Amino acid sequence: MLTLFWAKGTCALASHIALEQVGAEYKAERLDFSKTQQRSPEYLKINPKGRVPALITDQGILTETPAILLYVAQLFPKANLAPLNDPFALAQINAFNSYLCSTVHVAHAHKHRGRRWADDPQALEEMTRKVPQTVGDCFELIEQEMFRGPWVMGERYSICDPYLFTLAGWLESDKVDINRFPKVADHRKRMSDIPAVAKVLKVHAAG
Amino acid sequence: MLTLFWAKGTCALASHIALEQVGAEYKAERLDFSKTQQRSPEYLKINPKGRVPALITDQGILTETPAILLYVAQLFPKANLAPLNDPFALAQINAFNSYLCSTVHVAHAHKHRGRRWADDPQALEEMTRKVPQTVGDCFELIEQEMFRGPWVMGERYSICDPYLFTLAGWLESDKVDINRFPKVADHRKRMSDIPAVAKVLKVHAAG
């Protein structure tokens, strides 16, 4: 049995979608960030980083989206979410997901989570001001250089797709017009039409 | 044949060490960041992100440290740098390396690379001011919660070790006293004594 800790509006959506898509038996536990439940003593025992996602497995606890996504793909190989026997193709997937976690998500985080890197209100304001540009630049690069189509890695759907979908879902709130990126915009639409994705989105919308 | 693009003082050191440790046949191409060679038209064709590391392989180009490290481990399984047949143990490695790239490296980058997220000089100064605290907090968590010893993942040396070693090498310049973290400090010392590591360090010191 797997238990995923998630919160509304976070990148935990990607892992949640993957779990649903592979047909895993799992429980989804929502944390309420508005009540800072991610910093509660109970949750810090599960994830000392005080973030989501965290996935409780029979073998222990996993964190970090790229790690959880690949783990889910490995645990359910029949779902075919990653080229597990092709090191180069797998590395391309890992590179894309690394870019999302280390650069794209980080660019976005400077809007509401600027306190990670500064305390002065004017600095926080300046960081927020630049978010549309930095996030826009990231998606420009994805659109022009990385996205192959119809899925991120080409003909084959992979663990890159729910992750890109999750981060692309933040574009409007980051004041970036998704229509600047026709491939990403079309991908987001097709993703949200997948029944497993729609099901998880409904949970997150209600949560 | 593999070609690694690296630059002095960057996280490309981790991939460089891994290539040396597995006994790969590779060429190391240095970019001079002081001459912004990472933004040259030639290099942007190799890595449109304008960063290092980038690894040219017979199958194509790879970027992002976590992806390159796992690829090197998979390409040279006899070097035993990752538990390739144990999805959970591998996910723990991926989670650790994801934390390094998405949180620890990013905390450090606010010192000299603040322009990624702000333009105003006062905001950049404020970001620089907070670096010792944020980087210190990251290493506190690594020391207390993540590092198992004697290597990052316990008895078994892995691709987490050169990566942690690389980022721990930035502590002094980030004004964080490494002696606050005895396990990390001891790890850094033992790592630098490994002949393959010492050899690469010498190249980077001269470069």
Taking only the tens place, the pLDDT of each residue in A175-185 is: 999 999 999 99
Low-confidence stretches of chain B (pLDDT beneath 70): none
| Chain A, nearest residue to B121 by Cα | A123
Within its chain, how far is the Cα of B194 from the centroid? 17
Q: What is the pLDDT of residue A123?
A: 97
Taking only the tens place, the pLDDT of each residue in B77-127 is: 999 999 999 999 999 999 999 999 999 999 999 999 999 999 999 999 999
Whether the per-residue pLDDT at A98 is higher than 90: the answer is yes
Contact B187, B164 (CB under 8 A): yes
Q: What is the pLDDT of residue A207?
A: 75
Long-range Cβ contacts of B137-143 (<8 Å, 24+ apart)? B137/B107, B138/B103, B138/B104, B138/B107, B139/B104, B139/B168, B139/B171, B139/B176, B139/B180, B139/B181, B139/B184, B140/B180, B140/B181, B141/A48, B141/A49, B142/B104, B142/B181, B142/B184, B143/B180, B143/B181, B143/B182, B143/B183, B143/B184
B 157-186 near A (Cβ less than 8 A): none
A 114-153 near B (Cβ less than 8 A): 116-120, 122-123, 126-127, 129-130, 134, 141, 144-145
ipTM value, please give it. Answer: 0.98
Percent of the residues in chain A that have a pLDDT greater than 70, as a whole number? 100
Q: What is the pLDDT of residue B207?
A: 75
- Asked if B24 has any chain A CB less than 8 Å from its own CB, the reply is no
Residues of chain B neighbouring A117 (CB-CB closer than 8 A)? 107, 110, 117, 127, 130, 134
Whether the per-residue pLDDT at A95 is higher than 80: the answer is yes
Report the residue from B88, B90, B106 with minimal CB separation from A106: B106
Taking only the tens place, the pLDDT of each residue in A66-78 is: 999 999 999 999 9
Residue B128: φ, ψ to 5°: -60, -40
The residue of A102, A106, A125, A142 whose CB has the most chain B CBs within 10 angstroms, and thus the best one to mutate to test that interface, is: A102
Bridge-partner residues for A6, per DSSP? A30
Distance CA B102, CA B90 (A): 18
